[in-house]
Structure 1
Amino acid sequence: MQRRSFLRWTAALGAGGAAAAAGIAAYGRWREIKPDVHHPGRAEGHYLRDRQALPPPSSVIDADVAVLGSGIAGLTAAWKLHREGVGDVLMVDGPEPFGNAAGGAHGALAYPTGAHYLPIPPQECLHVRHLLYDLGIITRDPYGPRPQYDEKLILHAPHERLLYGGKWQEGIAPRDGVPAAELAEHARFNAEMEKLHAMRGADRLKVFTLPAAHASNDPAWRRLDSITFKAWLEQNSYRAPTLLWYLDYCCRDDYGIGIDRVSAWAGLHYFCARGGEASNAEGGAWLTWPGGLQPLAEQLAKRTGARRMAGTVASVKEVNGRVEALCFTLEAGKPRTYLVRARKAICAMPLFVASRVVDNIAQYGFDPARHMPAYAPWLVTNFLLDRFPEELPEAPLSWDNVVHGTKGLGYVVSTHQDIRRQPPAQTVFTSYVALSDRDPVEARKWLQTASAEELLALAATDLRAAYGSAFDGCVQRADITLRAHAMAAPLPGFLSNAGIQALRDAHGPILFAHSDLSGFSVFEEASWWGWQAARNALA
């Protein structure tokens, strides 16, 4: 953790880039706060990267199945094994319990440090519906076309708003003040997405669906993965600036990269694959918690029945038809190790980690030099406010608040679901930034070297645009979470990645489960591969 004071009248910075320096200059009358900068897994990751020596294991733990990682894929795998009657499951949490589903709290105020919502799952996502029903989140008719959900968890209005042309408007797609010709192009795009949503390939499978493993393999549609989304838009005469901004925002929000880099198949998948319905909510509604997905992850962890161990996997290998995993914890910077032995091991970790810890991963058909996906870095910052800033009159504060034309992804309000008559005295605004405006490697280098002031300035870009200097006096503290490898980015060609396909098909003592196997990071995909790995572990 890096902790520094950020003082009123902050001085100019060094090599953080002109944008960050300008942001800090704009911070002007900023009272003292002390931003905490968190780097989940960095110390453990550098230990693995640098191949530092580890002491011999101080203990040996035996299990039938070891789940190595506690993100959504690992939790789903452990939950599925428990449902199938496997009673001896050990889960090694990894460097950050719950991974991208993690969260934090300031006293009673919970907040996300990763993912913060789950769309109502469509009927094709039976694995997610089964899980949500078991957790009591779906309360009736889990496998029907329109299940009933726990009312407390359905996102209530106002859902989202956009600051465009100095005024707030409902929704994220620009509308008010947009020329009629551009609005017509928005309408044409939406109509085309409706058609593609129902489209099926020559194999009679839906072209776009969740999980993506169930999508059509029709080559005519898979060719979309050979070009960028921007190229597809140009080919289909979509040129309206407000539409292109909106589509770019959506891709940055879900994939961490913009339309100029994302696969056309993935870009279209974002708009065509979902559409879940509920009996007690509008179509396409969301489920959300003040702490993001952490409350869901915690609830799921309790239902797994697994023994949980703190620790990070250093090595995984097959030994006489079984698996041995050497794990370690860092205590005051010094490692302590233990050995896990199991009949099966599920590597529920990102592939950039698995490639370092799985002994000779090439034997499973995955060559890190050729098959490693690109990873998008993210910056997630939670601002604890001692009062709500004053709003412009056009549209009320919403759950998701986006600013047109910036590099940020907006901010969500942790207390949005609080339905008391009077708003709470304090709240947390969570700012999201995907560093999609620069090369991912350079972005990671910048995250490692940037000062707390530079990070804070970037994190507050949208909030400063929305509230100006009035925001300054509301902030009591800020917690910054850096996710240097936040999510796999679906670049053109990701669907034909032979190495990832080989890991999907692994059926030996070592199995793999992570959203990386789909090539993009969403709950439905992570959960699917956890489900599949659990089924394979039963064999």
Structure 2
Amino acid sequence: MGQAAPLITRRTALAGAAALVAGCQRLPAVEGGFTGASVERGHLLRAARPQGPVLSLRADVVVAGAGIAGLAAARHLRLRGREDFAVLDLEDTAGGNSRAGELRGIACPLGAHYLPVPGDGAPEVQDLLQELGLLRRVAGRWQPDERHLCHAPQERLYFEGEWQEGLLPWTGVGATTRAQYVRFAQEVEAARRTRRFAIPLRRREPLAALDGETFAHWLDARGFTDPQLRWYLDYCCRDDYGAGTSIVSAWAGVHYFAARHGFHPPGFDESGERDALLTWPEGNGFLSRALARPLGDRFRGGRVVLRIAETRHGVEVDAWDVAAQRLERWQAKQCVVALPAFVAARVVENAPPALRSLAARTRHAPWIVANLHLREPPWVRGGAPLAWDNVVYGAGDSLGYVVATHQSLDPAPGPTVLSWYCAPGEAARGDVLRLPWTHWRERVLAELSVPHPEFARTVTHVAVARYGHAMAIPVPGTLAALPQPRASGRLRFAHSDWAGYSIFEEAFTLGHRAAA
């Protein structure tokens, strides 16, 4: 077995940063602040209901929530010719966890930053990508526009003091480690061949056994104990679900690979092709902006939905207009509730049992995305070159960074933006909302100064986006207890929470079906 790389703890990382600062007395000040989702607006739901004049408005359909599910529902209404609708969202721009930002003229993601090219199990997503010119049929097969595929080099890992290609620890690992890699790859291939793993999820019953235990327990029972393999699998779970292998279900851990791209250690004789990834400088903000663009003034941002109630003749939706500081009351025939389950259960009067059950059981992970503007890309001193996705082995709850300018075809180096991701865990939700933005600035400068000693001298601005409830965590029992998002009278429900985990394909499909 290869020697495990030492864990980079917060203490050692800060010590490295302190040494860097001590060696250079005058580092330029790194300014910045919070950006992205408004914590204050979200917490208006906890406050006393605002009083005052009410502005009455009407629409045939109200869509509450403008994340991917809400935008998908709005698109379907529009394509069916139902133009009399309104989309309400507490943020000023649509997109939810797939919104985009800009830092000193460079586009960057505020959340999700890629979309695997969807398979035939996601025809609604294929249809969207075809509409946007990202997919086309060639000889009966879908072919993506290569300009939007992730450019090489795609991934690298800082391991044993050097950057290596790919995120699976490989350089210098021993035969025992490699044998476990191959054996896990065989397990994943066997799971793929059962065709029980699909995106979007179609059938839950065959996955009941995997749904009943944690991924860590499942791995232990099969002798997958190698520290490098376990680090990688834990990283993957935190990346997709916001929680590690000891928390998410075995279904979620296997699904990460078996439903999508497999598991491919170097030299493994895998069957089939690996999934290609679509990505853009602004991440999935490219898609959310494309979905929001045709809405025009039917999108009403800065509206905090406070109440959704069925009436004798339709639906009433009360929303607080943040800019005008007044209450709006929308009268509609129907409403698509595209809100997180815990929010929907709070605002829907006489919430149906399925919604109350989902809200009570769903656990959400907090999330941090820090975008850092650099005067120039990080230097490469050997090993694999700068890639789109860059991860430091053993860096605690950090998930590494992606390079916003990676898709640029300009060969000349220049200013860039790195988007750094962190999944601090459920217990840290209070810290995510309480700590100042400078905490995250110091954290990311300390971590990335280890592989990039010159890092602090090149950063000019840090913009921190924080999410208290970023994504649903698929814990054991999630699938067994997951209700179907059936209509309740004049209400239709759509959000990735109804899938048990948060990815674009699930949210989009649920939104499309709710509107249909």
Tell me the TM-score normalized by structure 1.
0.86
Using the TM superposition, give the Cα deviation of residue 287 of structure 1 relative to its aligned residue in structure 2, in angstroms: 0.2
Give the one of 305, 313, 318 matched to 1:313: 305
Give SS of 1:366's match.
helix
> For residue 522 of structure 1, what is the aligned residue in structure 2?
503
Compared CA separation, residues 490 and 170, structure 1 to 2 (3 A): same
Give SS of 2:449's match.
helix
Give SS of 1:274's match.
helix
Instruction: Tell me the amino acid that sits aligned with residue 398 of structure 1.
Output: A
Conserved? CA contact 1:352–1:372, under 8 Å: no
> For residue 490 of structure 2, what is the aligned residue in structure 1?
509
Conserved? CA contact 2:204–2:480, under 8 Å: no
Conserved? CA contact 1:88–1:306, under 8 Å: no
Asked if 1:223 is matched to 2:187, the reply is: no
Instruction: Tell me the amino acid that sits aligned with residue 301 of structure 1.
Output: A
Asked if 1:478 is matched to 2:467, the reply is: no
Asked if 1:446 is matched to 2:431, the reply is: yes
Using the TM superposition, give the Cα deviation of residue 359 of structure 1 relative to its aligned residue in structure 2, in angstroms: 1.2
Give the one of 91, 101, 107 matched to 2:87: 91
Conserved? CA contact 1:122–1:275, under 8 Å: no
| Whole-angstrom distance in 1 between the partners of 2:296 and 2:432 | 38
Task: Please give the per-residue CA displacement for 1:75-127, whole angstroms capped at 9, x wherever unaligned.
Answer: 11111122222221211133352110111112431000110000111121111
Conserved? CA contact 1:389–1:467, under 8 Å: yes
Asked if 1:193 is matched to 2:188, the reply is: yes
| Whole-angstrom distance in 2 between the partners of 1:303 and 1:370 | 32
Question: What are the residue-to-residue correspondences of 1:6-405 with 2, within 5 Å?
Answer: 25=18, 28=21, 29=24, 30-38=27-35, 40-57=37-54, 59-95=55-91, 97-141=94-138, 144=140, 146-199=141-194, 206-212=195-201, 214-218=202-206, 221-275=207-261, 283-303=274-294, 307-310=298-301, 311-331=303-323, 335-361=325-351, 363-367=352-356, 371-405=360-394
Task: Please give the per-residue CA displacement for 1:451-477, whole angstroms capped at 9, x wherever unaligned.
Answer: 333222223454222202x10110110
Which sections of structure 2, spanning at least 5 residues, go unmatched?
A: 1-9, 263-271
Using the TM superposition, give the Cα deviation of residue 421 of structure 1 relative to its aligned residue in structure 2, in angstroms: 2.7
Task: Please give the per-residue CA displacement for 1:409-453, whole angstroms capped at 9, x wherever unaligned.
Answer: 000000000112323x210001000003xxx1x311112322333
Using the TM superposition, give the Cα deviation of residue 19 of structure 1 relative to its aligned residue in structure 2, in angstroms: 8.1
| Whole-angstrom distance in 2 between the partners of 1:41 and 1:316 | 21
Instruction: Tell me the amino acid that sits aligned with residue 509 of structure 1.
Output: R
Using the TM superposition, give the Cα deviation of residue 291 of structure 1 relative to its aligned residue in structure 2, in angstroms: 0.5
Identity of aligned residues (%): 38
| Whole-angstrom distance in 2 between the partners of 1:86 and 1:99 | 23
Give SS of 1:365's match.
helix
Using the TM superposition, give the Cα deviation of residue 368 of structure 1 relative to its aligned residue in structure 2, in angstroms: 5.8
Residue correspondences, number: 491
Instruction: Tell me the amino acid that sits aligned with residue 248 of structure 2.
Output: V
> For residue 8 of structure 1, what is the aligned residue in structure 2?
none
Asked if 1:413 is matched to 2:410, the reply is: no
| Whole-angstrom distance in 1 between the partners of 2:12 and 2:329 | 47
Conserved? CA contact 2:39–2:433, under 8 Å: no
Give the one of 486, 492, 496 matched to 2:480: 496
Instruction: Tell me the amino acid that sits aligned with residue 492 of structure 2.
Output: L
Q: Select between 317-326 and 447-456 the one with higher mean Cα deviation.
A: 447-456
| Whole-angstrom distance in 1 between the partners of 2:251 and 2:297 | 38
| Whole-angstrom distance in 2 between the partners of 1:446 and 1:80 | 39
| Whole-angstrom distance in 2 between the partners of 1:98 and 1:136 | 20
> For residue 203 of structure 1, what is the aligned residue in structure 2?
none
Instruction: Tell me the amino acid that sits aligned with residue 419 of structure 2.
Output: T
| Whole-angstrom distance in 1 between the partners of 2:275 and 2:162 | 26
Conserved? CA contact 1:24–1:454, under 8 Å: no
| Whole-angstrom distance in 1 between the partners of 2:132 and 2:260 | 22
| Whole-angstrom distance in 2 between the partners of 1:473 and 1:47 | 40
Conserved? CA contact 1:127–1:531, under 8 Å: yes
Greater RCO, CA 8 A, separation 6+: 2
Structure 1 vs Structure 2 CA RMSD: 2.3
Compared CA separation, residues 342 and 462, structure 1 to 2 (3 A): same
Instruction: Tell me the amino acid that sits aligned with residue 348 of structure 1.
Output: A
| Whole-angstrom distance in 1 between the partners of 2:89 and 2:45 | 16
Compared CA separation, residues 478 and 379, structure 1 to 2 (3 A): same
Using the TM superposition, give the Cα deviation of residue 364 of structure 1 relative to its aligned residue in structure 2, in angstroms: 4.1
Compared CA separation, residues 521 and 461, structure 1 to 2 (3 A): farther
